[in-house]
Amino acid sequence: MTPEELAEIAESERVAQSRFTQRVNVCVAAGCLSCQSQSVKDALDREANRRDIKDHCQIKGVGCMGLCAEGPLVSTSSGVLYRKVQAENGAAILDSLGGQPVSHLVCRTDTPFFQRQKKIVLENSGVIDPERIEDYIAGEGYSALIKTLTEMTPREVIDQVTKSGLRGRGGAGYPTGLKWSTVSKSVGTKKYVICNGDEGDPGAFMDRSVLESDPHRVLEGMLIAAYAVGASEGFAYVRAEYPLAVKRLRTAIRQAERVGLLGSDICGTRFSFRVDVRLGAGAFVCGEETALIASVEGKRGTPRPRPPYPAMEGLFGEPTLINNVETFASVAPIIRKGGEWYAQIGTEKSKGTKVFALAGRVQNTGLVEVPMGISLREMVFEIGGGVPEGRKFKAVQTGGPSGGCLPSDCLDMPVDYESLAQAGSIMGSGGMIVMDESSCMVDVAKYFMDFCMTESCGKCIPCRVGTYQMHRILTAIGNMSATQQDLKMLEELCDLLKHTSLCGLGQSAPNPVVSTLRSFAEEYRAHVEEHKCPAGVCNAQPGGETE
């Protein structure tokens, strides 16, 4: 593959696409597929065949369009978005292509949900066919890779990433440029790049959507990273619960190998890179980098103390760059448009955009990409459309089991790494669960503690036994059988786990408890002192504490 050949593919694909004067895009990412979007696409295909219009009308399966709550979603070349489309609507949609839209299916796109977003990572999602490399290439795909390989030194690539201010999108927010630079300077007989797609937070589906909607984008990011740090082999670690993401990623790898974008001597340079997929077997802790590396090595997925960091001693003891799916997906546009362009978006310390999975008690559940620094209020009430059924907003949970619950007085806070951490939560990978007055915060804390207890690997004592004891106390509070002493013990355990656990799972496991204790102390008090659950969720259990 040479730059010229790539340009040829892009050109011929553009010519091929220009034959189509009409286009109907059907979302075939997991969200819409789960409400039968495949049958919608099949029906459209059949109808188009019957009408014999396929020479100028394209029916295309595309990735996530974002508003999952209204799926299946269908968009047309006349700029109309349809919601909750059923197979029987196919004919009507085709009829409408030249004229008036099918009014009862139209989904308005002039709302904040669409208007307030800024799509960089998701720019191809819902636009291109994730199973065709040509479609990706036609939209400037792999041009960033060609640019790095032919025009830039590894140092220049790292400089651009550093300039962009991009930080790890997996949750911790470590500066990506610094990580790349460290790996590039580390010495080893071989270096590796790992893409962390072990997205495990309940309610989070950003990485899944990116992999399902635009897998080549992730590969391109990994390739650029590999060139920058001097790696020759990569692994994409994706949880096995994401079969569609795995399938599309594998397809993408095969396609990239076929056209010579993966393999030996890429673009006629001496740069070689291969990528393999590894499936996670359903352990949340394998999202932690050292546990993930152990898992890729074929060992039991447990974390180990750092240092040494993977950048120095990672996979098979060699320097390893490990970044999240979304981080890799942010790389190509940064290279294409320059680090300075990216750094203009966002806040002083948190640059660029972030993809969030909006879920819970919010009108518009779905996938959104927004500039960093947007306020929580805008996220929940404008983009999210507020709390449904006229109920009152209570809290928004960010960062999954490692994050915290932010009450209404945090709503005007900007969404960036530092602000969220200061408020007792974390950015996390981008899960955002909205809760209304029908949620009991003790119950929420118990839910997350149950998650952490079940997902603890069992290696270190504070996390293994501490999460069990915390869950026991939270259960007792929910059963109205807890005492003031239990509350004190709960706080003690929060402190212990935070400071003595081996890895991030245990260190952050108390966050949902600490943040609810801080902002909703009154609810805990009501359970313990008055034996009442203000939200009406918890019931006193006869016999008190249960084991």
Partner 1 sequence: MSPVASVKTLKIDGRDLSGRQEETILDVARQNGIFIPRLCEMEGLSDVGACRMCLVEIKGQNKLLPACVTTVEEGMEVTTNSPRLEHYRRMILELLFTERNHVCSVCVSNGHCEMQMLGQRLGITHVHFPYRYPQEDVDASHDRFVIDHNRCILCTRCVRVCDEIEGAHTWDVMGRGINAKVITDLNEPWGSSETCTSCGKCVHVCPTGVLFEKGRSVAEMLKRRQFLPYLTLMRKENE
Among 87, 92, 277, 465, indicate the residue that binds partner 1 (CB under 8 A). 465
By CB under 8 A, is residue 290 in contact with partner 1?
Answer: no
Among 501, 511, 516, 519, indicate the residue that binds partner 1 (CB under 8 A). 501
CB of 182 to partner 1, least distance (A): 18
Q: Residue 436: helix, strand or coil by DSSP?
A: strand
CB of 241 to partner 1, least distance (A): 16
Token pair for 361: 């008690």
By CB under 8 A, is residue 305 in contact with partner 1?
Answer: yes
DSSP character for 391? P
- The residue type at 166: L
By CB under 8 A, is residue 499 in contact with partner 1?
Answer: yes
CB of 282 to partner 1, least distance (A): 10
Say how far apart CA 519 and CA 25 lie, in whole Å. 45
Q: Given the complex with partner 1, which of 166 and 476 has the nearer CB atom?
A: 476
CB of 384 to partner 1, least distance (A): 34
Say how far apart CA 391 and CA 527 lie, in whole Å. 23
By CB under 8 A, is residue 544 in contact with partner 1?
Answer: no
Q: Starting at the edge strand that comes first in sequence, how are the strands of the sheet with 393-398 ordered?
A: 366-371, 353-360, 431-436, 393-398, 404-407
By CB under 8 A, is residue 311 in contact with partner 1?
Answer: no
Would you say 158 and 180 are in contact if contact means Cβ atoms under 8 Å apart? yes
By CB under 8 A, is residue 483 in contact with partner 1?
Answer: no
Q: Given the complex with partner 1, which of 184 and 475 has the nearer CB atom?
A: 475
By CB under 8 A, is residue 500 in contact with partner 1?
Answer: yes
CB of 88 to partner 1, least distance (A): 47
Q: Given the complex with partner 1, which of 31 and 301 has the nearer CB atom?
A: 301
Count CA atoms closer than 13 A to 468's CA, side-chain side.
9
By CB under 8 A, is residue 350 in contact with partner 1?
Answer: no
- The residue type at 497: L
Would you say 471 and 464 are in contact if contact means Cβ atoms under 8 Å apart? no
Q: How distant, in Å, are the alpha carbons of 309, 395, 458, 483, 503 from that of 490? A: 32, 21, 20, 11, 20
Distance between the two ends of the chain, CA-based, in angstroms?
63
Would you say 184 and 154 are in contact if contact means Cβ atoms under 8 Å apart? yes
Say how far apart CA 341 and CA 165 lie, in whole Å. 10
Per-residue interface string for the shown chain with partner 1, residues 224-263, x marking contact by CB under 8 A? ----------------------------------------
Which range touches partner 1 (CB under 8 A), out of 62-70, 136-144, 426-434, 500-508? 500-508
Count CA atoms closer than 13 A to 296's CA, side-chain side.
30
Q: Given the complex with partner 1, which of 426 and 457 has the nearer CB atom?
A: 457
Contact residues for 389 (Cβ-Cβ < 8 A; gap 6+)? none
Report the b/e string of 86-119 with b at 16+ CB within 10 A: ebebbbebbebbeeebbeebebeeeeebbeebbb
Q: Nearest to residue 202, comparing CAs of 470, 471, 401?
A: 401
Among 138, 383, 496, 526, indicate the residue that binds partner 1 (CB under 8 A). 496
CB of 546 to partner 1, least distance (A): 12
By CB under 8 A, is residue 515 in contact with partner 1?
Answer: no
Residue with the two structure tokens 């001496």: 270
Residues β-bridged to residue 26 = 61, 74
SS3 letters across 207-238: HHHHHHHCHHHHHHHHHHHHHHHCCCEEEEEE
Q: Given the complex with partner 1, which of 83 and 498 has the nearer CB atom?
A: 498
# of chain residues touching partner 1 (CB under 8 A):
31
Q: Given the complex with partner 1, which of 99 and 305 has the nearer CB atom?
A: 305
Among 172, 244, 259, 489, indicate the residue that binds partner 1 (CB under 8 A). 489
Q: Given the complex with partner 1, which of 17 and 500 has the nearer CB atom?
A: 500
Q: Given the complex with partner 1, which of 234 and 301 has the nearer CB atom?
A: 301
Q: Given the complex with partner 1, which of 210 and 473 has the nearer CB atom?
A: 473
CB of 451 to partner 1, least distance (A): 11
CB of 547 to partner 1, least distance (A): 8
CB of 319 to partner 1, least distance (A): 18
Q: Given the complex with partner 1, which of 254 and 488 has the nearer CB atom?
A: 488
State which of positions 435-464 bind partner 1 (CB under 8 A).
453-464
State which of positions 258-277 bind partner 1 (CB under 8 A).
none
By CB under 8 A, is residue 169 in contact with partner 1?
Answer: no
Which range touches partner 1 (CB under 8 A), out of 204-212, 253-261, 381-389, 467-475? 467-475
By CB under 8 A, is residue 518 in contact with partner 1?
Answer: no
Q: Helices 441-455 and 511-519 sit at what angle, rounded to 10 degrees? A: 170
C-beta atoms surrounding 476 within 10 Å:
21
Residue with the two structure tokens 């196919």: 90
By CB under 8 A, is residue 475 in contact with partner 1?
Answer: no
Q: Given the complex with partner 1, which of 441 and 509 has the nearer CB atom?
A: 509
CB of 463 to partner 1, least distance (A): 8
Q: Given the complex with partner 1, which of 329 and 494 has the nearer CB atom?
A: 494
Say how far apart CA 66 and CA 358 lie, in whole Å. 10
Q: Given the complex with partner 1, which of 87 and 465 has the nearer CB atom?
A: 465
Q: Given the complex with partner 1, which of 54 and 488 has the nearer CB atom?
A: 488
- Where are any strands of DSSP class E within 204-361? 233-239, 274-280, 320-324, 353-360
By CB under 8 A, is residue 541 in contact with partner 1?
Answer: no
Residues β-bridged to residue 196 = 237, 324
Q: Which residues of this chain interact with partner 1, rule CB under 8 A?
A: 283, 300, 304-305, 453-469, 472, 489, 492-493, 496, 499-502, 547
